[in-house]
Amino acid sequence: MAQPVVPTATTVLDSILFRDAFGTPRMREVFSDYALISRYVEVEIALARAEASYGVIPTEAAEEIAAKCNVAALDFDHLRHETDIVGYPILPLVHQLVKQCGEAGRYVHWGATTQDIMDTADVLRVRAGLQVIEQEIADLRRILADLSKKYRNTLMAGRTHLQQALPITFGYKTAIWLAMFDRHAERLEQLKPRVLVGEFAGAAGTLASLATGAMETQAGLMEELGLGQPDIAWHTIRDNIAEVGCFLGLVGGTLGKLSMDVKLMMQTEVGEVYEPFAHGRGSSSTMPQKRNPISSCYIHAQVSVVRQHAAALMDAMIADHERSTGPWEIEWIALPEAFCLMAGALKQSRFVLEGLEVDAKAMRRNIDLTHGLVMSEAVMMGLGRYIGREYAHDLVYDICRVAVKEDRELLDLLAEHPEINKHLDRAALAKLCDPANYLGQSGVMVDRVLATLR
């Protein structure tokens, strides 16, 4: 009788329990071992083709290399064993590719160094990973645009220092989130020309290994792969990879802010929005009434770790001389995990926003909790026209304290005050105390963000 397979994964990204909560199958595939080794082989084949184009190696050899290099036929266990010994995977991989290619194998990896292949393969992975991120950002922008339109005029309390401050609209809040993603989409386009650049420079970056056709071969290789050609070797100038990490960190910061707002608005005492409902989701093992903000919790954890990986990728910039001793390996750890965690956070955020439950009645109820105190600035500004802004501030401040102490409506106390009612009657004060009359330019700002998206 066959024994059951025991789960052995040690990280959440591969765990059968957590891998689809913290990551996504699509991004895991981009950064899988098989995909990585396939990228190595892709670069080696493209290099042979480029070199043949400029007479560096025979055309027949390049054709044989392209035809016979077979990732599926590799002995992966032997590749792992040799990598453990050598410390890098390319030499062990080349050993097997040479055997696959027969006589043409002598031209495999011609003039290249290990880091050329690995860096270029990583750029190909980064490109594929950024395509996933780009699509997720586009989806979030679409969803947030719809929310901003729908709730453009839905009143709610704006909060500063976790206290009610002034009236805003829920559409204004979602448009703020949208504006951040608009900038991320712009950043992504701007970083592509800097980041999607391959590497082929030889042992010390000078391409001394090719006596003729060196720069032409480099250009041809990058054309084969659809990457930019570097002006100079970047074996130990890693600002491009660090920029990717920082970009992911910035996107994560936005997702973290969004999830924080959702968590706070989901509090029992607030109850203004809720993550999408699914039977049993967010429930407690002991408290049947619970509806916890599950996705927002995952997002918080994911983006926090992504920021640490961004910092690690900046540490990897501090490299020694022309080939580094250790900082480069930081990228092997941090870059795949950052992408996988970011994909998971974006997926969780899309789930939250696509099915977000918005309680407009609760939003209005919460504005009214303070019996009008949220409108104190509006009253101060209206009254200031008659008695001066500073005096109006102090007067309204004292009245607010009375309203809190006596649990009375601000409007009633204002209308009773002799220094106020001689300038403003109750009807005028009622207009000042109406939250719908004190939204400022929020609607205009929402429309401007939506216009930029279009």
Q: State which CATH number among 3.30.565.10, 1.10.357.10, 3.40.50.300, 1.10.40.30 fits the domain covering 366-439.
A: 1.10.40.30
Separation of CA 204 from chain center: 35
Mean pLDDT, each 10-residue run in order, the chain (454 residues): 78 92 96 97 98 96 97 97 96 97 96 97 98 97 97 97 96 97 97 98 95 95 98 97 98 97 95 87 68 92 97 96 94 97 97 96 96 93 93 93 93 92 93 95 96 80
Query: Does the structural domain 114-152+167-209+225-358 have CATH classification 3.40.50.2000?
Result: no
What does the buried/exposed string (b/e) look like for 311-350 if buried means 16 or more CB atoms within 10 Å of the residue's CB? ebbbebbebeeebbeebbebbeebbbbbbbbbbbbbbbbb
**Which pair of structure tokens corresponds to residue 156?**
């709610």
Q: What angle do CA 79, 80, 86 make, to 5 degrees?
A: 85
Euclidean distance between CA atoms 234 and 365, whole angstroms = 58
Helix (H) or strand (E) holding 165: strand 163-169
- Alpha-helical regions (H) of 151-206: 170-195
What is the dihedral sign for C-alpha 453, 173, 129, 200? positive
- Pair 110, 151: CB distance under 8 Å: no
Euclidean distance between CA atoms 223 and 206, whole angstroms = 20
- The residue ranges of every structural domain in the chain are 23-107, 114-152+167-209+225-358, 366-439
Q: Which of 360, 452, 366 is nearest to 171 (CA)?
A: 360
Give the pLDDT confidence score for residue 282 in this predicted structure: 64
Give the pLDDT confidence score for residue 345 in this predicted structure: 97
Euclidean distance between CA atoms 355 and 99, whole angstroms = 54
**Amino acid (1-letter code) at residue 309:** H
DSSP state of 319: -
Q: Which of 445, 416, 432 is nearest to 377 (CA)?
A: 432
Task: Tell me which CATH code domain 23-107 carries.
Answer: 1.10.275.10
Report the catalytic residues: 161, 284
Q: Output phi, psi for 328, to 5 deg.
A: -60, -40
Strand partners for 274? 357
**Amino acid (1-letter code) at residue 274:** Y
Euclidean distance between CA atoms 44 and 50, whole angstroms = 10
What does the buried/exposed string (b/e) look like for 42-64 if buried means 16 or more CB atoms within 10 Å of the residue's CB? bbbbbbbbbbbbbebbeeebbeb
How many residues make up the chain in this entry? 454
- Pair 47, 200: CB distance under 8 Å: yes
- Pair 164, 410: CB distance under 8 Å: no
**Amino acid (1-letter code) at residue 27:** M
**Which pair of structure tokens corresponds to residue 420?**
């106020």
Q: Output phi, psi for 408, to 5 deg.
A: -115, 165
**Amino acid (1-letter code) at residue 165:** A
The helix, strand and coil proportions of the chain, stated in percent and rounded to the nearest 5, come to 65, 5, 30
Neighbours of 436 (CB within 10 A): 12
Helix (H) or strand (E) holding 442: helix 442-453
**Which pair of structure tokens corresponds to residue 79?**
């590749």
- Pair 87, 114: CB distance under 8 Å: no
